[in-house]
Chains A and B, each alone.
Chain A
Amino acid sequence: MTMFQLEFMQRALIAGLLTGLSAPAIGTYLVQRRLSLMGDGIGHIAITGVALGLLTGWAPVLTAVLVSIAGATAIELVRARGKATGDVALALMFYGGIAGGVLLIGLAGQGAATLNTYLFGSLTTVSQSDLYVVVGLAVTVLVVAIGLGPQLFAVCQDEEFARTTGLRVQLLNLVIAVMAAVTVTVAMRTVGLLLVSALMVVPVATAQQITRSFRSTFVTACLIGVAACLAGIVTSYNANVAPGATIVVLALAGFVVAATVGTLLRRRSGRARPLADEEPEIGVPAPEPHVVSPGHPHAHAPECGHKKVEHGDHVDYVHDGHLHAAHGDHWDEH
C-alpha cells in the first residue's frame, strides 16, 4: 500500500495543496505592504485560539479562526490609528497570544505533544471535519485574493492614492487582515502555527527573484507554495518528521536556487541592455566651488551701465571693483 492510498495522507495532501495556494496568495499582499511579519503575529495569537478549543472541547480549528480574526482586526486597527506605540502594541499581542495558549493548554490538561501538532503541523491529525473547514476557508481566501485583486493591489501599493479613487481602504485593509487570519488557520494543520508565516513570505520572496510584474509574482508564488507543501508532506511521511519543518526547509532551498538564478539572469540582461541615457537631474549643485554674492538687490543687464566683460560662455559685470556673474537666481563673485 503506497502512501497515496492512505486516507490520512490523502487528507494531508489536499490540505497541503490548499495551504500552498492560499498562504502565498495572501502573503503577496502582505509583502507588498511590507507587513511580512503580520502572519507570524497572527500565528502566535491563533495558539490561544487552539488552546481555547482544547479547553472548551470545541473544534480547535473553529476557535482558532475566531481568535485569530479578532487578533488580526486588532492589529489592523492599531496600525491604522498610526499610534507611535503601534509596534509595541503588536509585540504585546504576540507574546500575549503564545503565553495565553500555553497557559490554557496547561489548564486543559493536555501536554506538549498535543500543542506540538499545532505548532509544527502533523500529517495524521487532519480529520474529515477539519478538512471540510480547511477547504471552505481556503476557497474563500482564494476567491477574495483573486477577485478583489485590483483593489487589494492598489491599497497595498499606495494607500493614499487608493483613497483618492474612492476605495474603502480601511475596509479592504481589514479584509486583508481577516484573510491572513483565516489562512493561518488553514495552514495550521500542515505547516503549523509557528511556521505558517514562512509559507506566506518565502514563496513570494522566491518568485520576486525572477518576476517583474505583480500578477506573475502572485501566480509563481502560489505554484512554489504548492510544490513546497506537497513535496514537504511526502518527505515528512518518508522521513517521519514534522511536515512544517520540511515544507519550510524546501521553500528556503527554493529561494536560494531562485536568488542565484535571478542574479545570473539580471547580470546577463544588464550586460545586454545598458542603462538608457537620461538628462541630468536638475537641482544638482554645480561641481566647481563658487562664491555667491551675499545678497545683491541690483539685477545686471546689458543696459545697466556697469562695465561688461566677456568671460567664457557668459558676461561678467564690473561692480564696485569686483566681477558679478549671473547664476540661476543669484549673483556670483568672479
Chain B
Amino acid sequence: MIAEDSPRAVQVADLSVDLGGRLVLRGIDLRIRQGEVVAVLGTNGSGKSTLIKTVVGLLPAARGEVRLFGTPVPRFREWRRVGYVPQRITAAGGVPATVYEVVSSGLLSKRRMFRPLGAAGKQSIEEALEVVDMADRRKDAVAELSGGQQQRVLIARALVSDPDLLVLDEPTAGVDLASQQIFADAIRERVARGTTVVMVSHDLGPMDALIDRTVVMRRGRIVYDGPPHSSQTHAHVHHSHTSEEDPGWMTP
C-alpha cells in the first residue's frame, strides 16, 4: 500500500478550466501520490481528457492550480520526469516518419539543441522499442502500422525518457487485444519500478488489475474517488426492469 506521507506527483487544487467560454472542469481537487496508479473514468464530455491535458500543461487553468512534483505547472521545468501519451487516431504527420524517429522525439526533454543523439539515447530508444515489442518494426513508417501498433509507438515515445509520471489519455481506445496486453505489461513493469500512472479510460480491459484507485468524473466534477470496484471495468449502466412496453433494442 502507498504510504500516506509519500510525496505528491500530482496535486490539483480547486481547478476550473474554461474551453471557449464553457466551464469544462469545475472545482476539481485531486492529489496523486508517487507510485499510485489512478484511472480517470467518465462518459464522453465528463471532462476527463480536459483534466489530463491541464495536468500536463496543455490547457491553462481558469482558476486554481496544478502542481507536478510540488511545482506549479507554468513554472515546471523537469519535463523529463513526465511521459505523456496523447489520445489520437494516428501517429503519422504529412511526411513519412519511421517508428524509430517518432520514439526518438520522446528524448527531447533530455536533449540540448544542436547536439546529436548520444549512445545512451540510442540505448534507451532500443529498450523502449523492446518493451512495446516493436523493435523489429523500427524502420517501418508509422503510417503503415495498425492503430494498435501506432499506439504502442506512442507509448514507447513516452517511456523512452524514463519518466516518473506517466499520463495516458485513452491508451486502449481502438487498440487490438494483443496490443492491449503488451501495453498492460509495459505499464506493469513501470509500476513495479515506482512510476506514477494516471490514465483516462472508457474501458480498462487488461489494465484492470493494475489500478489502485479510480476517479469517476461527471459534468466537470469528481463524483467518485476511491478504490476500484468491478462494476467500473465495464462502464455498466443498470436500468430497472419495469418499463414493460419497452421491447428492447436491436443491434445490427
A residues contacting B by CB (< 8 A) are 28, 31-34, 36, 147-148, 150-151, 153-154, 156-158, 160-167, 204, 208, 211-215, 217, 278-283, 285-286, 289-298, 328-329, 333
Contact = CB atoms under 8 A, between A and B. Distances in A.
Nearest to A266: B144
A29 to B, nearest CB: 8
Interface in B121-140: 139-140
B178 A213 contact: no
A289 B246 CA distance: 18
Interface residues on B, range: 35 or more
B79 A165 contact: yes
A32 to B, nearest CB: 4
Given A166-B77, A294-B249, A295-B241, A157 B178 contact: no
Contacts of A150: 104-105, 108, 111, 117
Contacts of A290: 250-251
Contacts of B251: 285-286, 289-290, 292
Given A32-B93, A212-B98, 9 more contacts: A32-B97, A147-B114, A158-B105, A161-B157, A166-B108, A213-B139, A292-B249, A293-B241, A297-B241
Top-7 shortest CB links A-B: A295-B239, A166-B79, A154-B105, A294-B246, A32-B95, A164-B84, A165-B109
Nearest to A280: B176
Nearest to B95: A32
Contacts, number: 158
B176 A148 contact: no
Interface of B: 53, 56-58, 77, 79-80, 82, 84, 86, 88, 91, 93-98, 100-102, 104-106, 108-109, 111, 113-114, 117, 139-141, 144, 146-148, 157, 161, 174-178, 180, 203, 205, 234-236, 238-241, 243, 246-252
Interface SS, B side: loop
A293 B237 CA distance: 13
Contact of B96 (A36, A214, A296, A297): A214
B104 A278 contact: no
A281 B172 CA distance: 10
A40 to B, nearest CB: 16
A150 B80 CA distance: 16
Contact of B101 (A160, A214, A282): A214
Contact of A293 (B98, B178, B235, B248): B248
